[in-house]
């Protein structure tokens, strides 16, 4: 019997989408390990109210540290808060989102508690009461299965892989006492992107473009498709176009960029270098549009259209607008 601690990430006093995924995954393994789910929330004003929503995903108890000074993630503070939550609970596993914040914090906590961490996990099984995890390695070219030799098992979950399933529990909210820590890292602020879009790793739908678009100005065609697909969609890019300076690094998909797992991935004018194909392997449905019928991308795409993207894309945008419009 072991409890599971789930780190639920917040921003601006609201839960981030990965928070539900992490708590729901914790619920699933806690049931198999006959334990409780303790959700941990650290954030600024509004966090306590937002945190109560974690009961929906299966949190038995919700520990919240809310303070103005916690509005921005500070690793020095967060690691001690997690350590103090652990000291009062003896969890069998601690789950984090594999987000920028979650991965930074998980590594800190691993060193602080002197236990191993499995990053970017895509599957958790429970064998003999212990978690066994699977994670893509080599940018997705191979999968490793791991077991932990000491407890607690630290696990960060790849975004978009574990469903944020509802499984309501009591979700008693308790205040977590703040811990006095020297802030060696001073967090000055968060600059948000001008156009607030979903991160390419967290978006359910990604429309990615490559060299085939020929010119950065042609991204308008992809933006139109993103608009047609709605607020769940965002843009991605191949390494070639990022290296050419057409698109920002933050959009790069592949082994040396972001490994992504959207439900739906459009590869437009992307031939499919090995490192790109590795980075989209865990996507749900892959659609490829390319004029070269021999392009490697067609070897992994669920659906391929061979043709000139400058003709195919506007038609695709139009058809998707039509079907989404008809749904109301």
Partner 1 sequence: MRTIVCIKRVPDSEARVRVSADGRGIDPSGTKFVLNPYDEIALEAALQLKEEAGDGTVTAITVGSDDAKETLRSALAMGADDGVLLRSEGSVDGLTVARALADEVSGRQYDLLLFGKQAIDDDNMQVPAMVAQMLGLPCATVVVDLEIHDGVATAKREVEGGHEIVEFDLPGVVAAQKGLKEPRYPSLKGIMAAKRKPLEEKDIELRAPKIELLELTMPPARPEPQIVGEGPEAVPELVRRLREEAKVL
- Select 170 or 244, whichever has its Cβ closest to partner 1: 244
* Residue numbers 38-67 binding partner 1 by CB under 8 A: none
User: Beta strands 117-121 and 153-157: pairing type?
Assistant: parallel
* Residue numbers 226-255 binding partner 1 by CB under 8 A: 242, 248-250, 252, 254-255
Pairwise CA distance, residues 9 & 247, whole Å: 28
Nearest alpha-carbon partner for 108 in 199, 259, 7, 257? 7
| Region from 48-56, 62-70, 209-217, 315-323 binding partner 1, contact rule CB under 8 A | 315-323
CB contact at 8 A, 99 and 18: yes
User: Beta strands 4-7 and 153-157: pairing type?
Assistant: unpaired
* Residue numbers 271-290 binding partner 1 by CB under 8 A: 273-275, 281, 284-287
Both structure tokens of 233: 């969609």
State the nearest-atom distance from the C-beta of 22 to partner 1, in Å.
Answer: 14
- Select 67 or 318, whichever has its Cβ closest to partner 1: 318
Using the rule CB under 8 A, is 222 a contact of partner 1? no
Binding pattern to partner 1, positions 91-130, x when CB under 8 A?
A: --------xxx-xx-xxx-xxx-xxxxxxx----------
| Region from 37-45, 53-61, 216-224, 318-326 binding partner 1, contact rule CB under 8 A | 318-326
Say which residue the tokens 């789930």 belong to.
6
Selected from 40, 51, 79, 226, the binder of partner 1 by CB under 8 A is 79
- Select 30 or 228, whichever has its Cβ closest to partner 1: 228
* Residue numbers 185-204 binding partner 1 by CB under 8 A: 185-193, 196-199, 201-202
**Pairs from 319-323 (Cβ < 8 Å, separation ≥ 24):** 320/225, 320/228, 320/229, 321/228
State the nearest-atom distance from the C-beta of 57 to partner 1, in Å.
Answer: 20
- Select 174 or 318, whichever has its Cβ closest to partner 1: 318
Pairwise CA distance, residues 264 & 293, whole Å: 21
Beta bridge partners of 125: 132
CB contact at 8 A, 37 and 63: no
Give the other-Cβ count within 10 Å of 182's Cβ: 7
State the nearest-atom distance from the C-beta of 61 to partner 1, in Å.
Answer: 27
């Amino acid at each position: 019997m072991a409890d599971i601690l789930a780190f639920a990430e917040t921003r601006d006093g609201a839960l981030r989408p990965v928070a539900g995924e992490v708590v729901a995954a914790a619920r699933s393994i806690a049931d198999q390990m006959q334990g409780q789910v303790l959700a941990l929330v650290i954030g600024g004003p509004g966090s306590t109210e937002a945190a109560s929503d974690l009961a929906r995903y299966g949190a038995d108890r919700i520990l919240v540290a809310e303070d103005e000074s916690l509005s921005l993630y500070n690793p020095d503070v967060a690691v001690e808060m997690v350590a103090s939550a652990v000291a009062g609970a003896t969890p069998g596993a601690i789950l984090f989102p594999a987000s920028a914040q979650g991965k930074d914090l998980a590594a800190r906590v691993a060193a602080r508690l002197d236990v191993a961490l499995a990053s970017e996990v895509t599957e958790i099984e429970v064998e003999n009461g212990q978690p066994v995890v699977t994670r893509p390695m080599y940018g997705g070219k191979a999968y490793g299965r791991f077991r932990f030799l000491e407890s607690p098992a630290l696990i960060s979950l790849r975004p978009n892989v574990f469903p944020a399933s509802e499984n309501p529990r009591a979700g008693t909210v308790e205040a977590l006492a703040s811990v006095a820590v020297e802030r060696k890292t001073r967090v000055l602020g968060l600059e948000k992107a001008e156009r607030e879009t979903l991160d390419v790793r967290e978006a359910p739908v990604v429309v990615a473009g490559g060299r085939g678009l020929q010119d950065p100005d042609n991204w308008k065609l992809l933006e139109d498709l993103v608009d047609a697909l709605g607020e769940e969609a965002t843009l991605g890019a191949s390494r070639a176009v990022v290296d050419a300076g057409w698109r920002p690094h933050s959009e790069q998909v592949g082994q040396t960029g972001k490994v992504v797992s959207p439900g739906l991935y459009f590869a437009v004018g992307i031939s499919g270098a090995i490192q790109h194909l590795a980075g989209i392997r865990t996507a749900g449905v892959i659609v490829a549009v390319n004029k070269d019928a021999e392009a490697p991308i067609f070897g992994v795409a669920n659906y391929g259209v061979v043709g000139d993207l400058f003709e195919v894309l506007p038609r695709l945008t139009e058809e998707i607008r039509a079907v989404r419009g008809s749904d109301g």
